[in-house]
Amino acid sequence: MNRSDTAAPVDSTSNSGIALVILASRAAWLSVLLGCLALPAQAETVTLFDGELSFDLPPEVREMTPEEMAIKYPAGTVQPDIAFTATDTLSVTVSAIRLTVVGPPLPPMEEYLEAFSASVAGVIPDLSWEEQAVETINGREWVRVEYTADWHGQPTYWVVMGHPVVGAFYGFRCSAALPDRDEFEPVFDDIVATLRLTP
């Protein structure tokens, strides 16, 4: 007797056929529903300084409260305009600042990188450099420095971005305590890749 590998068609007019169709439809809808529930939460776009700077943050990164800002950035340290964290202990942070600058015309970015790196090293003399580069992000050149250094006794990994324009400086910092670095370093890279300046 010949054996066919093709399944026999279901008679959708029979009671059993109708039941199979209903079950298949329910399974399909359930699959779609579960797929929707499994979708990752969307990143939130943060826009600052009257629309001049924007970037995207993943859902696990939230804005710091004023009390947390005072703890993380005590008097005598550089105070960002806004800061975010991914941990209640403030061991992972993202922050942004806009400074008004009065000075000579801007030098080429490679020269600016040297001056920027020197200024960071002057403030944090015990740092260990990992990267110093000029990076183009969404059509704008930024200086990028990465280093590790103690922050109030806690060894910390830093990514600091800077973009100078005539009359202003935009700074963007990401930091993670060394135990959190492996988890959040790729998150920082994703955030930095969304930096946008207007105009």
pTM for the predicted model, two decimal places: 0.79
Count up the domains in the chain and report the number: 2
What pLDDT score was predicted for residue 103? 81
Above pLDDT 70, what percent of the chain? Answer: 79
Cα 49 to Cα 100: distance, rounded to the nearest angstrom: 12
For the beta carbon of residue 98, count every other beta carbon within 10 angstroms.
Answer: 17
Res 171 pLDDT > 80: yes
State which H helix or E strand residue 141 sits in: strand 140-151
Q: Are residues 66 and 90 in the same domain?
A: yes
41-80 pLDDT per residue, tens: 689 999 999 999 999 999 999 999 999 999 999 988 889 9
Q: Are residues 133 and 191 in the same domain?
A: yes
What pLDDT score was predicted for residue 41? 66
Which residue reads 């995207």 in tokens?
56
Which residue reads 């943050």 in tokens?
57
Domain CATH code at residue 52 = 3.40.1000.10
Cα 33 to Cα 46: distance, rounded to the nearest angstrom: 30
Cα 133 to Cα 136: distance, rounded to the nearest angstrom: 10
Q: Rounded to the nearest 10 degrees, how much is the dihedral formed by the CA atoms of 34, 59, 53, 146?
A: -120
For the chain, the distance separating the N- and C-terminal CA atoms, rounded to the nearest angstrom, is 77
Q: Which domain holds residue 8?
A: 1-39
Q: 20 falls in which pLDDT band (50, 70, 90)?
A: very low
Q: Are residues 71 and 113 in the same domain?
A: yes
80-124 pLDDT per residue, tens: 999 999 999 999 999 999 999 988 888 999 999 999 999 999 999
Q: Are residues 59 and 28 in the same domain?
A: no
Res 27 pLDDT > 50: no
Q: Is the peptide bond before 107 cis (omega within 30 degrees of 0)?
A: no
Q: Are residues 57 and 22 in the same domain?
A: no
